[in-house]
Structure 1
Amino acid sequence: MSEIQIEQIRDDLTWRIRHEAMYPDLPLEAVKLEDDSEGTHFGLYAGDQLSTVVSIFSEGTTYRFRKFATAVDAQGKGYGTALLKHIIEYVTFMGAKMLWCNARVSAAGFYERFGFVKTNKISRNYNIDFVIMELQLDN
């Protein structure tokens, strides 16, 4: 793995990677969130290349992450693992009691390795199945 650095970034810096990794066949607008300006956004840089992004939103002590994406040419290198560990530490430090996401069903196993648990809340968007997954945090 290249030398990595994780930084808080502007919301617009997340859009290119979100688009490329998640919905390349849709317009760029499909990856922009209405409340992007209210979120906290993190980027993982491998060398000097922004490779993985995630956006975090809070409601009291419940935190949600959205649009967790790794650039196609950077996938499989452990960057998602590094960034997810970082945001779990970050929200724990911020006082979170729970962290949740709307995960692609195909990625549920990845999140389970970190202690996330599937709920029975399943949805479908852009022909992709999603399940809400939750991580209880001890603070």
Structure 2
Amino acid sequence: MYPDMPLDSVKLKDDFDGVHFGLYANHKLTGVVSLFSQGDVYQFRKLAVLPEAQKLGYGTKLMEYILDYCKIQNATELWCNARVNAKEFYFKFGFSETEDTFYKDGFDFVVMELAF
């Protein structure tokens, strides 16, 4: 996610409350995403694919998986803090851009949401 930062920089205090998914390619952990819920509203965080494996469809596979997972859980909404330069990726899955934006760790973010 942030290859120039220490591993502790991506740890969150509520990590143990989430469901964490990993995608393996050729027996190597290649992509990850974490999913958190508050009732029937879900948030995903830390969607990441190894740099050398990007643009191969692994991010799409992770998104499709968590979308299916949320539907099975009867989620009413899924949202994320998306990097502004990646928001087109989320549009492909039906996410809408909100007016909520912020700057963190050198990146501009926008909150994106999807209603089920």
- Deviation of 1:71 after TM superposition, in Å, equals 0.8
- Deviation of 1:119 after TM superposition, in Å, equals 0.2
Aligned equivalent of 1:116: 95
Aligned equivalent of 1:51: 30
Whole-angstrom distance in 2 between the partners of 1:42 and 1:28:
17
Whole-angstrom distance in 2 between the partners of 1:56 and 1:78:
20
Aligned equivalent of 1:88: 67
Whole-angstrom distance in 2 between the partners of 1:96 and 1:63:
7
Letter in structure 2 aligned against 1:119: T
What TM-score, normalized by structure 1, do the two folds share?
Answer: 0.81
Whole-angstrom distance in 1 between the partners of 2:21 and 2:5:
23
Letter in structure 2 aligned against 1:81: T
Whole-angstrom distance in 1 between the partners of 2:28 and 2:7:
20
Q: Which runs of 4+ in 1 moved over 4 A?
A: none
Q: Counterpart of 1:33 in 2: which secondary structure?
A: coil
1:56-75 correspondence to structure 2 within 5 Å: 56-75=35-54
Per-residue Cα deviation, 1:72-93 (whole angstroms, up to 9, x for no partner): 1111100000110010000110
- Deviation of 1:25 after TM superposition, in Å, equals 1.9
1:99 to 78, 85, 88: 78
Per-residue Cα deviation, 1:15-54 (whole angstroms, up to 9, x for no partner): xxxxxxx222222211111111110000111121111100
Structure 2: runs of 5 or more not aligned: none
